[in-house]
Amino acid sequence: MDLTGMVVLVTGGTGSFGRQFARYVLSRMKPEKLIIFSRDEMKQGQMQQEFGPHPSLRFFIGDVRDKQRLDRAFHGVDVVVHAAALKQVPTLEYNPIEAVKTNVMGSENVIHSAIDQSVKKVIALSTDKAVHPINLYGATKLCAEKMFVAANAYSGIHGTKFSVVRYGNVLASRGSVVPLFLSQRETGVLKVTDDRMTRFWITLDEAVEFVLRSLEWMSGSEIFIPKIPSLSLMELAKTMGPQCRIERIGRRPGEKIHEILVAEEESENTLEYEDHYVVCPVIPPWKLNGHLTHGHPVKGGFRYSSNENTPTLDRERLKEALDHIVA
């Protein structure tokens, strides 16, 4: 979707996705405004220094827990990308109420403010951990998904459209295993939780591009899922530290062996395309738009899981991605 001439706001805009989204959009498009909404003034200051003065770039201090602040920030906004979340799995297992306040109640505030301020489109970022969740992070993102899908039913005369993008681990995002392995590599020992573990992987650029495409396609209430490669944690460790010793430390609280992007229970409502899936809503109101009429229903009982997925992220492509990140 071309955001030229639009007012766009990204919640959690100083995070890994938000920064890359800003780089991508400002280098290729001419939005009227691109508003970075986040609660950390230091990260905003760092981002301002990194990007330098830009006529379209704005910074707005605020927290998604504060609806009044969101109302002010959303005034005159055309498109909202909701990327704000607490997401560190072990931390949230020990701080569950904080996770609910940001990921669930904060999402509720985003929905209400978007409707009240007549935002045209809102797309929320979700995760494979929302499918059959076993940790609190996944459970809160599942709640957020349900809320954004249902929000279309009560946007009323405002006409605000809400959809969701669900994808896997972002390669080298802040707090992910890649930066951790990079720091551990200096010690000669990489600590792996479970050598059976597999994950879906997507680069930041791929995530940004898919979000922009989903914004263009969306008619409201869909969950868009990219087809992305999988990789075992052991393969990642061996590629990043071929000379390192591997130490197995056991799974952390709330970790799965494998992740799922489309559950079997969703298969009856899932359409497949060349490079993505769309989980269609089961609640009204919803109509197929022109894009979605070309999808093919998946087979009943279909499941898109990281251990059964093809293709895998081959070592050559992984090395290229890692070299780009380190550079």
Residue 198 has pLDDT above 50, yes or no: yes
Work out the pLDDT band at 55, boundaries 50, 70, 90: very high
CB atoms within 10 A of CB 311: 10
Reported as a single tens digit per residue, the pLDDT across 70-89 is: 999 999 999 999 999 999 98
**129 carries an active-site annotation:** yes
Per the domain annotation, does 159 fall within a domain? yes
CATH number at residue 153: 3.40.50.720
Query: Hey, what are 159's tokens?
Result: 């006409």
pLDDT of residue 324: 59
| Residue 286 pLDDT | 59
If one compares 255 and 135, the residue with the highest pLDDT of the two is 135
178 is a domain residue: no
CB 214 within 8 Å of CB 241: no
173 vs 199 pLDDT, higher one: 199
* pLDDT of the residue at 183: 85
**Residue 66: predicted pLDDT:** 98
- The predicted-structure confidence for 132-150, as pLDDT tens digits, reads as follows 999 999 999 999 999 999 9
pLDDT of residue 289: 60
pTM above 0.85, yes or no: yes
CA distances from 267 to 82, 148, 174, 272 (A): 26, 20, 32, 10
pLDDT band for position 255 (cuts 50, 70, 90): confident
Residue 176 has a CB neighbour count (10 Å cut-off) of 16
Q: Is the pLDDT of residue 326 over 60?
A: no
Tokens 């904080």 — which residue? 98
Task: Give the integer Cα–Cα distance in Å for 6 and 260.
Answer: 35
Please check whether residue 137 lies inside any domain of the structure: yes
For the cut 80, the answer to whether the pLDDT of residue 278 exceeds it is yes
The region of weakest confidence among 27-36, 185-194, 274-283, 306-315 is 306-315
Beta carbons of 219 and 287 less than 8 angstroms apart: yes
> Which is more confident, 141 or 318?
141
Whether residue 166 lies inside any domain: the answer is yes
What are the distances in angstroms from CA 277 to CA 10, 17, 124, 199? 24, 21, 16, 18
Has residue 149 been placed in a domain? yes
Q: Which of 121, 129, 141, 256 is catalytic?
A: 129
Residue linked to tokens 């990204």: 10
pLDDT score at 140: 98
Kindly state the greatest CA–CA separation across the chain.
61
Provide the phi-psi class of 124: left if phi over 0, else alpha when psi is between -120 and 50, else beta: beta
Closest C-alpha to 128, from 197, 196, 194, 201: 201
307 or 323, greater pLDDT: 307
What's the mean per-residue pLDDT of the chain?
Answer: 91
Dihedral Cα 180, 186, 189, 191, nearest 10 deg: -10
In angstroms, the CA 114 to CA 162 distance is 9
Interval 115-131 mean pLDDT: 97
Nearest CA among 206, 193, 202 for reference residue 233: 193
Domain assignment of residue 105, given as a range: 7-170+202-227+260-306
CA distance 3 to 9: 11
Residue 166 pLDDT > 80: yes
- Token duo for residue 86: 């607490």
pLDDT at position 175, please? 63
Determine, yes or no, domain membership for 19: yes
Please determine, for residue 312, whether its predicted confidence score (pLDDT) is greater than 50: yes
Asked if the structure places residue 162 within a domain, the reply is: yes
In a domain, 250, yes or no: no
pLDDT at 231: 87
Residue 325 has pLDDT above 60, yes or no: no
The pLDDT assigned to 327 comes to 47
Specify the pLDDT at position 129.
Answer: 96
Number of separate domains in the chain:
1
Provide the pLDDT for residue 179: 79
